[in-house]
Structure 1
Amino acid sequence: MSPAIIWLRRVFTDSHFFFALKVLLTMTSLVLPGWWLDQTSAAMTLALGAMAGALSEVDQAPKGRLRHLLLSLLCFFSAITLVNLFIDSPLLFGPLLVLSTLVLILIGAWGPAAGSLGFGTLLISLYAMQGHADSPSFWYQPLLLTLGAAWYGLLSWLVLLVWPYKQVHEQLAQCYFALSRYLLEKSRFFDSPTEQHQHRRHQLAQINIQLVSALENTKQMLSLRIQGQGKQEQEQEPSRLLALYLLVQEMHERATSSHHPYQQLNQDLKQVDVLVGYQTLLEELGEACYRLGYAILTHNAYQHSKRITWELSALQDQLDYSHLKRHYPRSLLSPMKFLSRNMADLHQSLLRAEALTRREPLPEAVSIELARPQPMPFWPKLRALLHPNALLFRHGVRLSLCFTLGYALITGLELERGYWILLTILFVCKPSFSATRKRLMQRTLGTFGGIVAAIPLLYVFPSVGAQLVILLLCIFIFFTQVKVYYSWAVGFVTLFVMLAFNLQGAVTEPVFLPRLLDTLVGCALAFVAVWFIWPDWQRRHLPRLMADAMEANAHYLAAIARQFEHGRDDELGYRLPRKQAHLADNQLALAWQNIRVEPVPRFWLNLCFDIAYRNHALLSYLSTLGAHRMHSAPLQDDQIQQLVDRLLASARALRSEEALPDYPPLPTSTIDADSDDEWLILSRQLLNHVTLLVNALYQQAQGFRQPAPAEGAPSPGLG
């Protein structure tokens, strides 16, 4: 294929570009006929409805998407009708707005589809409030806004019927792209000085957040599409995608494994050629994962590089030659050999992926169970949701009170078009302080940039036709950038909404200053809300997050031990504990990210980092045991049981807010340096590393029951 065709194929398989293209097609089919028929105002109302429909869309199978669309249209129409009924009676409309906001936020507890439905209903209601002054009749907005959302939903559903697995391909490709970045970042350990290793660990933790999130999203998409399908369908594309998903899970376990502390390896090995060999091979494997992800994204066959086979052989020869010269001790040689074996297994996984991406019939259907958590009964779930400690309940109350303040300003100052304040609050106010603070800056800068850009554009291009072209261009760029560069996206959507409301109504001149002031007021109200109304400081969640991580690590270690006892398999009983351990580790890493921008004493900042750092290191050693699990291989059952019991006891005490017993540190096992059993040496080294980390984490868990030291005092466990 020519470079131009390859580029076009890459662009059209980009998820953001394709989504933006769907929205652009919908908007163009609404706006241009309205312009030709001299019904620009009606076309803008339809376009705003399509915008709300696009922003509230979630991934589902075709049948589920159609049901969600019909329910969304019913909710949209009802909400807009209620707005028109009560908006002219502030004493009735204010309480209705607050109560409905709380309910629409809380229904998000019933899953992503319900949360998307609540957000879309709230968004289209705010659009109806902003356009109410220009509505010529009672049913004008309910009909046109709902029809706009229906038109986008119908086009999107037809696209889904034509390409039912397109989003699964895109999300699965993101898994391999993230795995590629992880391997490339890990390769830098072999040539980085010791003082940079902590930074590398932090970078790996951030990439792992993206990787685990992509894996979880892929699992949900596959589960939606596999559920309820017939046997014949399962033998084709879903089975191929499921096999590639299970493969990247296995490769993730191998990639996150740690056979030997990298600082110690660089100090002990002192052999540049071997270190360069490890680094080069990891880089090649990372590049291969990227090419595999690109092949999945573009629906092409993946071609594995033969160079990796040669590099594996060269690395083994270099290791043998270096060992003959330097006579490495068994405690160093065994981890190095298993590290080479782990890379060889990654190479074999990529060869299996090469066969899976060919458009050939699979020899047999992939029949494996995906985790589907049992839904909690309605009333117990509702009681748990209405608890003051529930994160979603706090967010719903906070957003509702924020809307109360905003609506009071609008009615008190008689701002007929001041509902932009509520729109800003909806997009800026997030469940956590850190997310809200980030959105505050992005929203303010983006709105200011959009208004500054609008002033010369609208005076240079005053005609309706030119403004429609600018509007379509803005909405296309917004959807390509909203998940990548939010500030840029806000700038373009600010220009879009300003043009839409301007062309929708009777106002002949765009209002720049009021929109900027409304944005600043909305941002200020959101900031006040997250600071004073049930602020969700991350340090409040640290004991629970640590308990979740310790419990998940205990179950993962127990699952690994069962594999050694009964034989290696990839059934749900092993994959689920592994996934839960990585999800819990991600939550600790995210807490560290968030707590850095919160007004907390240095003690909490250091403690959160130390816990996240050590838990990720612990998970890396557990992943090594899992990557090399084999039937009848020797493992010290007593030591494993002690580790599992200590982790579970710590988790129970942290959740119950009881003082942890003052247990003595768990002992490490002795290693016979003269043993010829390489696996015995490596497994005992790994369990000793795990033991030391569990002892350190247990000591930190005990620190939660002690008062934080004064500012400037050293935190426990940090040098």
Structure 2
Amino acid sequence: MRRLIYHPEVNYALRQTLVLSLPVIIGLIFGSLQQGLLFSLVPACCNIAGLDTPHKRFFKRLIVGGSLFAFSSLMVQLLLMEKLPLAAIFFGMALLLGVTAEISALHGRLLPASLIAAIFTLGLAGNMPVWQPMLLYALGTLWYGAFNWFWFWMWREQPLRETLSLLYRELADYCEAKYSLLTQHTDPENALPPLLIRQQKVVDLISLCYQQLHMLSATSRQNDYKRLLRVFQVALDLQEHISVSLHQPEEVQKLVEQSHAEPVIRWAARTVAARLRVVSDDILYHRYPRRFSMEKPISALEKIARQHPENPVGQFCHYHFSRIARLLRTQRPLYIRDLMADRQQHLPLLRALRSYLSLKSSALRSAARIGTMLAIASLLGAALNLPKPWWILMTIMFVTQNGYGATRVRILHRAGGTIAGLLIAAGALHFNVPQGYILAGMLLITLIGYLIIRKHYALATVGFTITAVYSLQLLSLSGEQFIMTRLVDTLLGCLIAFGGMVWLWPQWQSGLLRQNAHDALERDQQAIRQILSDDPQPGPLAWERMRVNQAHNALYNSLNQAMQEPSFNNRYLADMKLWVTHSQFIVEHINAMTILAREHNMLTPALAQRYLQSCEIAIQRCQQRLTWDNPDDSGAIHVLDDPEALTIGPMSTMERHLDRILSHLNAMHTISSVAWHQRPHHGAWLRRRLQSHK
């Protein structure tokens, strides 16, 4: 029972189904089924607005959201009474409400939710008094907030537990995949992409944990969250030790040939991965961790490191696996960090409005894109003699996502699911099924739909389409008449949304690769400065390391999305993929150097200054090459040009990492020289001054 009730998909499906179905059940009991069905429309707006997100200002966000829904409903009805064109109404409302995205990303979700409330009102206008839809949204939002507050009170830690559980599971997959490819690192083009994907998922989940911690009220003062805070800090330490660089293929191959290191290292990795999966389940299902020890694998690694002292790979694996074993055994972080160091601030309304009124604002561009698509849909509805084309408008809002790739996938799933759902509903409506059985079937379909919606959106859309048709049947006894028109409206909405993402001020990720690459190099430079400073502190070191990982993750996400866009230049993207590969190696070296700096394994001040200067010069040359073509054809980047400054004796571990970083920067400089010649020679790609898109 515990596994069932705490399972993320089951918990989410139960919450969404109950918040939708309880108003319908209450309406059925009191003989007001139609009012209950209308009342259940409001949670759709609240879901899109993110009002079910645990937040320290939970009730304030509910008040703001409910007020915007009621305001949108009132505006649509009043402007319709003034005989204003529907296209002008929705375009103006999109521009007016678009300022919310300038305040913060979470506030930005109020824009599509408010527009959906206006579209719902479009179908209700003329059939009831003006105040009734407004009251419906106000009471519906109040019900939604009260129910979710009660649900999260019962499972107070569950949202954070679900994310932490996923994080530990991804760390297990990443550790296992990394060391299963131990002898394949000589071919990074084939071995590295799977690791990059797993590393990307880990950093995404860490970022999500940070966001959840910021949104929770007084987290550090609540006893319920203290253990989860400790678990998250342990996860940060684990990610630090698992993701350090092992890119020494020659040394790895030599050690494998000279000893039985490969099965021992894989044994240790599998042991760690198995324990991480157990910890993941313990977090999710509220279980206390059992005792754990991996003395035998650690002893075997120590023996290999002692037998081959000249090979750094054995020492590397023994050091990091012993730290990982200690973390898993004690379940306590290696050091305490300030998790609130990156506390996010929202822009005040007046400052957000001033920024929003600039033509450079991405929020303004996004609002104008949505408003234009809704205006086109309204004009198309008028041309087809549809006075209220609310289904076309609704389809546009549901399928429009932030990027081209996500919108395309959502369109395919939405269109396919809607077509299948309408066909099934058309056949089912021919049977005279009693109302009680219909409602029970809708309840079951809704539960199943929310169980699978995160992984199988198309199948969930099939079920939701069936429930939508039967809702119309129960509301107006004319569901069958809407089958064909709803099918045409869905296809038209998908076509308009696709055209809007392609032709209306598109924000192609391929065009943003240069800016993201520049930002990633900037973060690398800040981290290296922190590491090579006179007295690096653990807190700032941990925060800079995390920012490096997040900046590279943004670059990698941008590359992945660019590869899915209409490819204007495959050679340019292929070159940038290789560039991102070298950037990943730098991130792994910075992870390793952060550990060394925290343990005071440092260079002499003079040598640290020379390395810092060399790294800064190398990074700046890479940034300049990304910005414009120049005739600089100088050779490789040299670490130390002065022979007197050369290290006497073998290089330290910190020096080896820095030397490899410089070699990767040298390769990135050469790659960017080639890639920049492959770029399109028009538009944003010709700008020499980069502007942050953040």
Task: Tell me the TM-score normalized by structure 2.
Answer: 0.89
Match of 1:222 in 2: 213
AA of the residue aligned to 2:517 = M
Are the equivalent residues in 1 in contact too, given 2:103–2:348 (CA < 8 A)? no
Are the equivalent residues in 2 in contact too, given 1:87–1:93 (CA < 8 A)? yes
Are the equivalent residues in 2 in contact too, given 1:126–1:419 (CA < 8 A)? yes
| 2:430 alignment partner, SS class | helix
Match of 1:500 in 2: 471
Match of 1:591 in 2: 558
- Over the matched positions of the two proteins, sequence identity in percent amounts to 19
Compute the displacement of 1:541 (Å). Answer: 0.7
Cα distance 1:224–1:529, how it changes in 2: closer, same or farther (>3 A)? Answer: closer
Compute the displacement of 1:276 (Å). Answer: 1.4
AA of the residue aligned to 1:616 = Q
Q: Map Cα deviations across residues 348-369 of structure 1 (whole Å, 9 max, x no partner).
A: 111231x69xxxxxxx998764
2:101 counterpart (108, 121, 128): 108
Match of 1:237 in 2: 224
Q: How many Å separate the matches in 1 of 2:264 and 2:194?
A: 22
Match of 1:645 in 2: 616
Match of 1:317 in 2: 303
Match of 1:580 in 2: 547
Are the equivalent residues in 1 in contact too, given 2:373–2:500 (CA < 8 A)? yes
AA of the residue aligned to 1:292 = V
Tell me if 1:43 matches 2:36.
Answer: yes
Match of 2:500 in 1: 529
Q: How many Å separate the matches in 1 of 2:592 and 2:463?
A: 47
Q: How many Å separate the matches in 2 of 1:673 and 1:639?
A: 12
Match of 1:566 in 2: 535
Q: How many Å separate the matches in 2 of 1:384 and 1:660?
A: 38
Gaps of 5+ in 1: 1-7, 357-363, 711-719
Compute the displacement of 1:470 (Å). Answer: 2.5
AA of the residue aligned to 1:43 = G
Q: How many Å separate the matches in 1 of 2:647 and 2:431?
A: 80
AA of the residue aligned to 1:153 = G
Compute the displacement of 1:560 (Å). Answer: 2.1
Match of 1:177 in 2: 169
AA of the residue aligned to 2:194 = Q
Q: How many Å separate the matches in 2 of 1:163 and 1:520?
A: 40
Match of 1:292 in 2: 279
Compute the displacement of 1:464 (Å). Answer: 2.3
1:409 counterpart (351, 369, 380): 380
Match of 2:204 in 1: 213
RMSD of aligned residue pairs (Cα, Å) = 3.1
Match of 1:76 in 2: 69
2:654 counterpart (645, 662, 683): 683
AA of the residue aligned to 2:260 = D
Compute the displacement of 1:581 (Å). Answer: 0.8
Kindly report which structure 2 residues correspond to 1:112-123, keeping only aligned pairs within 5 A, or say none.
Answer: 112-123=105-116
Compute the displacement of 1:515 (Å). Answer: 1.5
Kindly report which structure 2 residues correspond to 1:237-316, keeping only aligned pairs within 5 A, or say none.
Answer: 237-262=224-249, 265-266=252-253, 269-271=256-258, 273-306=260-293, 308-316=294-302
Compute the displacement of 1:173 (Å). Answer: 2.0
Cα distance 1:59–1:575, how it changes in 2: closer, same or farther (>3 A)? Answer: farther
Compute the displacement of 1:148 (Å). Answer: 2.7
Tell me if 1:200 matches 2:191.
Answer: yes
Match of 1:394 in 2: 365
AA of the residue aligned to 1:518 = D
Q: Map Cα deviations across residues 513-538 of structure 1 (whole Å, 9 max, x no partner).
A: 22221111111111111221112222
Cα distance 1:596–1:60, how it changes in 2: closer, same or farther (>3 A)? Answer: closer
Paired residue total: 673
Match of 2:484 in 1: 513
Kindly report which structure 2 residues correspond to 1:386-465, keeping only aligned pairs within 5 A, or say none.
Answer: 386-416=357-387, 418-460=389-431, 462-465=433-436
Task: Tell me the TM-score normalized by structure 1.
Answer: 0.86
Compute the displacement of 1:454 (Å). Answer: 2.3
Cα distance 1:255–1:684, how it changes in 2: closer, same or farther (>3 A)? Answer: same
Q: How many Å separate the matches in 1 of 2:555 and 2:338?
A: 33
Are the equivalent residues in 2 in contact too, given 1:73–1:146 (CA < 8 A)? yes
More displaced 10-residue stretch of structure 1: 177-186 or 622-631: 622-631
Match of 1:360 in 2: none
1:29 counterpart (4, 22, 25): 22
Compute the displacement of 1:315 (Å). Answer: 2.8
Q: How many Å separate the matches in 2 of 1:436 and 1:253?
A: 34
| 1:301 alignment partner, SS class | coil
Cα distance 1:385–1:213, how it changes in 2: closer, same or farther (>3 A)? Answer: farther
More displaced 10-residue stretch of structure 1: 389-398 or 336-345: 389-398
Kindly report which structure 2 residues correspond to 1:460-499, keeping only aligned pairs within 5 A, or say none.
Answer: 460=431, 462-499=433-470
Cα distance 1:304–1:700, how it changes in 2: closer, same or farther (>3 A)? Answer: farther
Q: How many Å separate the matches in 2 of 1:365 and 1:344?
A: 19
Compute the displacement of 1:309 (Å). Answer: 1.8
Cα distance 1:149–1:584, how it changes in 2: closer, same or farther (>3 A)? Answer: same
Match of 1:633 in 2: 602
Q: How many Å separate the matches in 2 of 1:181 and 1:451?
A: 40
1:347 counterpart (325, 339, 344): 325
Compute the displacement of 1:438 (Å). Answer: 1.8
Match of 2:691 in 1: none
AA of the residue aligned to 1:243 = R
| 1:87 alignment partner, SS class | helix
More displaced 10-residue stretch of structure 1: 20-29 or 420-429: 20-29
| 2:386 alignment partner, SS class | coil
Q: How many Å separate the matches in 1 of 2:75 and 2:351?
A: 30
AA of the residue aligned to 2:316 = F
Match of 2:690 in 1: none
Are the equivalent residues in 1 in contact too, given 2:168–2:279 (CA < 8 A)? yes
More displaced 10-residue stretch of structure 1: 176-185 or 467-476: 467-476
Compute the displacement of 1:255 (Å). Answer: 1.2
Are the equivalent residues in 2 in contact too, given 1:99–1:400 (CA < 8 A)? yes
1:66 counterpart (59, 65, 68): 59
Cα distance 1:480–1:278, how it changes in 2: closer, same or farther (>3 A)? Answer: same
1:13 counterpart (3, 6, 14): 6
| 2:487 alignment partner, SS class | helix
Are the equivalent residues in 2 in contact too, given 1:31–1:40 (CA < 8 A)? yes
AA of the residue aligned to 1:594 = Q
Cα distance 1:550–1:77, how it changes in 2: closer, same or farther (>3 A)? Answer: same
Gaps of 5+ in 2: 682-694
Q: Map Cα deviations across residues 16-58 of structure 1 (whole Å, 9 max, x no partner).
A: 3222212222223211232233322211101111332233234
AA of the residue aligned to 1:187 = Y
| 1:91 alignment partner, SS class | coil
Are the equivalent residues in 2 in contact too, given 1:391–1:431 (CA < 8 A)? no
AA of the residue aligned to 1:626 = T
Cα distance 1:180–1:651, how it changes in 2: closer, same or farther (>3 A)? Answer: same
Cα distance 1:246–1:532, how it changes in 2: closer, same or farther (>3 A)? Answer: same
Are the equivalent residues in 2 in contact too, given 1:482–1:489 (CA < 8 A)? yes
Cα distance 1:632–1:525, how it changes in 2: closer, same or farther (>3 A)? Answer: closer
Q: Map Cα deviations across residues 581-631 of structure 1 (whole Å, 9 max, x no partner).
A: 111111121122111122221222212211221111211122122233321
Kindly report which structure 2 residues correspond to 1:349-364, keeping only aligned pairs within 5 A, or say none.
Answer: 349-353=327-331
Are the equivalent residues in 2 in contact too, given 1:201–1:613 (CA < 8 A)? yes
Q: Map Cα deviations across residues 216-253 of structure 1 (whole Å, 9 max, x no partner).
A: 121122223354x7x8x35x233332222222112111
More displaced 10-residue stretch of structure 1: 19-28 or 373-382: 373-382
AA of the residue aligned to 2:579 = I
Compute the displacement of 1:177 (Å). Answer: 1.9
Q: How many Å separate the matches in 1 of 2:350 and 2:428?
A: 54
Q: How many Å separate the matches in 2 of 1:346 and 1:622?
A: 18
